[in-house]
Amino acid sequence: MASITRPVVAIAGATGHLGKHVTTAFLSSTFQDKFSEIILLSRNESCLFQPSSSQAGVKLSTRRYNEDNLEEALQDIQILVNTVGLAGHDFGTKLVDALPGTNIRVYFPSEFGVDHYAHDFAHPEWQQKKKHFASVQRVVPHMKICRVFSGLVLKDMGPAFGLDTQNGKYTSVGSFRTPVSFTSVVDVGRTVASLATLPAEKIPDVVHVGGDSRSVAGIAGIMESAGAGRIDIDCLPCERYKKENIAGTLSRPESYVWFLMGDGGIAHTAAFLGNDNELVNPGQRLWRWKTVEDLAEETSGQPAKDVGPGHK
C-alpha cells in the first residue's frame, strides 16, 4: 500500500517532449524519495519510459487509459501532472469529466510556457488552456491547481523569437532592453518536481520561473562573445506591429510572442510578472539553472537556426 506520508504522483504525457523531462526530474535522486510511487499514464502500448540505473530506487509503474476508463486510471493518486500538449485537447475534456471521481489533491495543468493570463490576446491555443482551467475549477473547487509559467524554451532561441543569429539579425518589437525569460525543458521538469514536494497548502496557485532573463540586446552581446559574429538589432514600433500582425486569429502564437517580448509580457522578474525561482530552488542548492551563457557556449554562439517554439 502506498505511504500515507509520501504522495503518489501521476504524469500524463510522460513520454512526450516535455513529459520525458518531467518524468526524469521526478525519478532523479533529488526528488524520488519524496514520493511513494510515480505512475506514468499512457494511451500507447509501446510508449514506455525506461528509467536509468540511478532511477531504480522508486516504485515506477505505467497505467493504460482510454476515453472510457480515465477515472479508473486516476484512482489512488494524490498529485497529477498534465504534460499532454494541445494536440491532445480531448484528453483535457475527458479529464474534466473524470476528476470529480478521484481523490487528486494537487493538479498541475498543461501550461509551462507564456503566462497568457497577463494579456488579452485571444489566441486559440491560449483560449483552450483558459477554458480547461476554468472547467477544472468549476468541477473540483477544492483541488489545488498550480499553473506553472516558465517563459520561452531556452533551446528554441532562434528566428521564431526574432533572434536570427545565423544571419546576424535580431528583431525587437518595442524596447530591446526589456528582459525576456527563458527556461530549459530540463529545468521546467525540476520546477514541477520541486513544487510537488511541498504541502498542498504551500503550493502557490501561480508560479513564474525563468532559468535566465535577458534582453534582446543582452542576448546579442552574449552570442557575439561566444562566436556568432556581429548581430544587428532592428526595432519595430510596438503599436504599429500590434496593429499589423495581431489583428486576427493566427494559427501559431509566434507573432504574439514577439510583441510580448518587448512589452514585458514574458519577463519573469520582480519588476514585471514576478519570479519564484527561490521557492522551487532556494539558492540553486537543488540544481543550477541553465543560462543563456550556457546555451551560447554549447552552440558557439549559434543556437537554434530554424525551429519554432517548443511544444509538448
- Same domain flag for 44 and 122: yes
Query: Backbone dihedral region of 13: left (phi > 0), alpha (psi from -120 to 50 degrees) or beta?
Result: left
CB-CB neighbours of 309 under 10 Å: 18
Domain that holds residue 177: 153-181+213-265+284-299
Determine the pLDDT at residue 73.
Answer: 95
Q: Specify the CATH number for the domain of residue 258.
A: 3.90.25
Q: Are residues 79 and 162 in the same domain?
A: no
Region of 300 (left: φ > 0; alpha: ψ -120 to 50; beta: rest) is left
* Average pLDDT value for residue range 124-150: 96
Q: pLDDT tens, 9-31?
A: 999 998 888 999 999 999 999 99
Q: Tell me the CATH number at 141.
A: 3.40.50.720
The neighbour count for residue 304, using CB atoms within 10 Å, is 22
Position 67 scores a pLDDT of: 76
Average pLDDT, the chain: 90
Q: Which residues contact 200 (CB under 8 A, 6 or more apart)?
A: 105, 106, 144
CA angle 66, 191, 149 (to 5 degrees): 80
Q: Are residues 62 and 80 in the same domain?
A: yes
| Residues 254 and 159 both lie in one domain | yes
> Could you report the per-residue pLDDT of 232-274, keeping only the tens digit for each?
999 999 888 888 777 655 546 778 899 999 999 999 999 999 9
In this prediction the pTM is 0.92
Q: Do 193 and 259 lie in a common domain? A: no
